[in-house]
Amino acid sequence: MTPIGSQIMRPGLSRRKFVQGLAAGGALLGLAPAIRPAWALAAAGEANTLSGTEFDLVVGPQPVNFTGAPRIATAINGSVPGPTLRWKEGSAVTIRVTNRLAETTSIHWHGILLPYQMDGVPHISYPGIPPGATFTYRFKVQQTGTYWYHSHSGFQEQTGMYGAIIIDPATSERNATEQDYVVQLSDWTDDDPMTVLANLKGQSDYYNQNRPTVADLLADVSTMGVAQAREKREMWNQMRMSPTDFSDISASTFTYLMNGTTPAGNWTGLFRPGERIRLRFINSGAASFFDVRIPGLKLTVVAADGQPVDPVTVDEFRIAPSETYDVIVAPGQDEAYTIFAQSLDRSGYARGTLAPRPGMAAAVPAVDPPVWLEMQDMMGDMGGMGGMAGMSGMAGASGHDMHSMHNMPAGQMNHGAAVPPPVSVRHASTEYGPGVDARVDTPRVNLDDPGAGLRNNGRRALSYADLHTAGGAIDKRDPEREIELHLTGNMERYIWSVDGLEYGRSTPIRFRLGERLRIVMVNDTMMAHPFHLHGMWSDLENAAGQFQVRKHAISVQPAQRITYAVTADAPGRWAFHCHLLYHMATGMFRQVVVV
């Protein structure tokens, strides 16, 4: 008998319904006595999987209970996540979306190539879907792989409005496996998202559970001495920045979900020992990066953002909001394995299980201890700097303080790798103002850094340098022009922008139809930003300007400069934004016009 609250995916199982029990920390969708299940399991092992070319989706309010406190989610067809949509490459799909909310809604098909009128972004591609109305999306499916869909209206994505997309190839599947599961990660808060935003605007570290404590000070004193421990803290205090500001929102309000199931609910995918399993990881979190591993199993990454990559085997990987990774695992033993996805700030985790039989579970690892941001996360390329070149505009930092930071050994700054030559940056005149608290003058350009918290932790962590799109670039032309953009903000005031301008004060970025151009992005902030360009592929380049990997979302680390080539082959108006929902909502957003 299945334990209350567990979610079992069983190979070959006929259609059954499971209810996530409150006792196990799961979600009850619906009200007694007519309790609606969160999942209806199909034989293929996906939740509420809908296949074919004609789809009907209904958006509406849905009672849920993830934490012991009843709340109302924004659900699609009565479930969180919404149904998995399974399409076929080359087919034409028709999707009718009916709005049963009291407000306008929308659905954006993330990473899908389609006409801009079908992209689903209110006030850019269409007006949105009013209450009581139905909008019909129609487009041809031109790609394969793992993608997802979500609301692009207000904070509906945060309140549960998202689902998975699987596009099967027209011919044979590359890297075929015996089992195939979606693993959709997300974050849930019982609070109204507007309250969350108000808290962040009032105090940007409102949810930071890892602020330095007296115990941390005493530990540093014991290892580095009083003078160095004091100097370490004075530097951060003078800059009015927190060394543990990895995530805006933590487990103090978030409950981390795996396929709509809390850690106690323990979503489970079944396998037979010796089978190869494809796990389609999707980060649908509104504001959470996850570091994913399965203790006891190696992870072979075979696709990134739906696109096949040359297989690379790792122990863990970081997945930013909106990214997808396909990994293959091969559990050879008759035992359970924990799928462990800890939050970037180490305040909590999502968890599930791979097991040969229902009811089995493996040990759940403790979350890693939180770390501090390093100088490379604030200053960029320390090895290529001279004098006062590293970072300008730091609130409260004196020339003496900045000089001492710039002269730290380069080996401490660059993940132990060879230091690339310094690059020049262009700071727009709009970056100089109260909405920007820092500017990076010598950003780092390395792609081989998995990021703070994964550096030198004893496990093999994936980095963008490991990813190589199978078959290389589609468009092999060299870019003919560059557009440089800086990701900016004032963390203390919780202001987020591009080139110092929030979306409402910006003008559209213009691409010429058919051109090949290079986007240069410089992160002047101390937080990572996953940027998503709608409608077109982003061809990430290495430091030498050579093609690396094709993606629809690229995470730019703190004080990092990245470049990617874009072929402007999609006429129309497109959104271009940070996929941290609260950053996007407060201004880190642009419109791209292709004409």
Band (pLDDT 50/70/90 cuts) for residue 1 is: very low
Could you read off the pLDDT of 349-402 as tens digits, one per residue? 999 999 999 999 999 999 999 887 776 776 677 665 432 334 555 543 333 233
pLDDT score of 76 more than 90: yes
Could you read off the pLDDT of 251-308 as tens digits, one per residue? 999 999 999 999 999 999 999 999 999 999 999 999 999 999 999 999 999 999 999 9
Please give the sequence-ordered ranges of beta strands (E in DSSP) within 175-323, or none if there are none: 179-189, 254-258, 267-270, 277-283, 290-293, 299-304, 307-314, 316-319
Q: Decide which of 403 and 222 is more confident.
A: 222
DSSP 113-165: ---GGGS--BTTTB--B-TT-EEEEEEE----EEEEEE--STTTTTTT-EEEE
Q: Hey, CA dihedral for 261, 262, 263, 265, is it positive or negative?
A: negative
Mean pLDDT for 185-193 is: 98
Cβ–Cβ < 8 Å for 315, 327? no
Could you read off the pLDDT of 523-544 as tens digits, one per residue? 999 899 999 999 999 999 999 9
pLDDT score of 584 more than 90: yes
Residues of the chain with pLDDT > 90, as a percent, come to 74
Mean pLDDT for 224-230 is: 69
Please give the sequence-ordered ranges of beta strands (E in DSSP) within 365-408, or none if there are none: 391-392
pLDDT at residue 212, as a whole number: 57
Helices 226-239 + 399-406 axis angle, to 10 = 120
CA distance linking residue 242 with residue 463, whole number of Å: 25
Half-sphere exposure for 484 (CA within 13 Å, toward CB) = 11
Q: Which residue has the tokens 């689903």?
A: 120
Mean pLDDT for 318-327 is: 98
How close are the terminal C-alpha atoms of the chain, in Å? 60
Reply yes or no: is the peptide bond before residue 81 cis, omega within 30 of 0.
yes
Cβ–Cβ < 8 Å for 179, 173? no
Q: Give pTM, 2 decimals.
A: 0.86
Closest CA relative to residue 308, chosen from 172, 208, 202, 425: 172
Could you read off the pLDDT of 410-466 as tens digits, one per residue? 333 344 444 555 688 999 999 999 999 999 999 999 999 999 899 989 999 999 999
For residue 313, the Cα-to-chain-centroid distance in whole angstroms is 21
CA distance linking residue 580 with residue 155, whole number of Å: 11
436's tokens: 């920007």
pLDDT score of 204 more than 50: yes
Average pLDDT taken over every residue of the chain: 85
291's tokens: 């570091």
27's tokens: 């979600």
CA distance linking residue 563 with residue 547, whole number of Å: 10
Burial (CB count <10 Å: 0-12, 13-18, 19+), residue 569:
middle
H or E element at residue 60:
strand 54-64
Least confident of 227-241, 316-330, 500-514: 227-241
CA distance linking residue 158 with residue 271, whole number of Å: 32
pLDDT score of 404 more than 60: no
CA distance linking residue 209 with residue 14, whole number of Å: 44
